[in-house]
Amino acid sequence: MINIVCLKWGDKFSSDYVNNLYYGIKRNTTLNFKLHCFTENSYDVDPAITCHDLPNLNITGWWYKLWLFSDEMPFNHSDKLMFFDLDTIITGNIDDILSYDCPKDLVGLRNFYRPQRFASGLLMWKHGTQTHIWEEFVNDPVKAQACSPDGDQEWTERNAMSWTLWQEEFPNQIYSYKQSCFPTLPHDARIVCYHGTPSIIQSFTETIKNFDGTWPPTTWPKEHWRK
């Protein structure tokens, strides 16, 4: 059994994001898995997904992702955990990715905008090996947030012992929507990561203008982001 975790906090992402992530994984793996959603609001989350209450901490948004490294998580030490950001679409078979045996402490993304930096939209680690990332943060969260303007992923990069990058281990399988999947999906894509705008829903419903350019709606996301 592979334990997959996601985080839903606040109102940025609806339950559809949790449910569609689950069904996207289910369609694209032959392996047994359980999706765990850590949230303060489990309303309308599919009953096939195991929901856990988030602790009431004096932090918000992406900073809760660091808590997933804590010893308070309901798993056994050395259990392999796979984390997906909710703004992710599964578009192809991910058996090899879920079966990956981490050679180092942590697996994360190469930052799509700054390739020399780490990104936390897709993570794998063994429970109990990364508790220091959370413990160092919670010792002084105000200071930690102030010195990490890029958020949880900057803090994780600074405090992780060692890491491997998904794009190096699985080349041409994990893509950025804006960099590589607009307007068409590459034939070899397995996982598509969204960041900023457009969101997944916006990418097939409306035209978005931002610092990256203009993004009219395209059709393929809706084909894959569904129950």
| Structural domain range at position 43 | 2-172
Task: Give the model's pLDDT for residue 162.
Answer: 87
Summarize the confidence of residues 87-112 as an average pLDDT: 94
The answer to whether residue 198 sits within a structural domain is: no
Asked if the model's pLDDT at residue 105 lies above 90, the reply is: no
Q: CA-CA distance, 162 to 104, in Å (whole number)?
A: 6
Band (pLDDT 50/70/90 cuts) for residue 104 is confident
- Tens-digit pLDDT profile for residues 152-188: 999 999 999 889 999 999 999 999 999 999 999 999 9
Residue located via tokens 């259990």: 79
CA distance 102 to 124: 7
- Model confidence over 109-123: pLDDT tens digits? 999 999 999 999 999
* Confidence band for 207, pLDDT divided at 50, 70 and 90: very high
Q: What is the DSSP letter of 70?
A: S
190 within some domain: no
Check: CB of residue 193 under 8 Å from CB of residue 176: yes
Q: Using omega within 30 degrees of 0 as the cis cutoff, is the peptide bond preceding 198 cis?
A: yes
User: 30 near 96, Cβ under 8 Å?
Assistant: no
Confidence of residue 220 (pLDDT cuts 50, 70, 90): very high
Residue 106 tokens read as 């942590």
Residue 115 lies in a domain: yes
DSSP calls for 15-61:
HHHHHHHHHHHHHT--S-EEEEEEES--TT--TTSEEEEPP--S--G
Enter the pTM of the model: 0.96
The DSSP annotation for 72-115 comes to TSSS-TT-EEEEE-SSEEE-S--HHHHT---SSSEEEEEPSSST
Task: Tell me the average pLDDT of the chain.
Answer: 96
CA 68 – CA 81 distance, rounded (Å): 10
Q: Is 187 among the domain residues?
A: no
The yes-or-no verdict on residue 62 having pLDDT over 80 is: yes
What integer pLDDT is reported at residue 102 of this predicted model?
A: 79
pLDDT at 83: 98
The predicted structure's pLDDT at residue 98? 98
DSSP state of 220: H
Rounding to the nearest 10 degrees, give the CA dihedral for residues 26, 27, 32, 35: -20
With the C-alpha atoms ordered 186, 192, 198, 204, is the resulting torsion angle positive or negative?
positive
Residue 46 inside a domain? The answer is: yes
In this structure, is residue 14 part of a structural domain? yes
191 domain residue, yes or no: no
Look up the CATH number of the domain holding residue 129: 3.90.550.10
User: Which one, of 87, 78, 139, lies nearest residue 109 by Cα?
Assistant: 87
- Sheet containing 88-90: give its strands across: 88-90, 191-193, 174-176
> Is residue 180 situated within a structural domain?
no
102 in Cβ contact with 191 (< 8 Å):
no
- Percentage of the chain with pLDDT > 90? 93
Q: Does position 126 have pLDDT exceeding 90, yes or no? A: yes
How many domains is the chain partitioned into structurally?
A: 1
* Beta bridge pairs of residue 176: 193
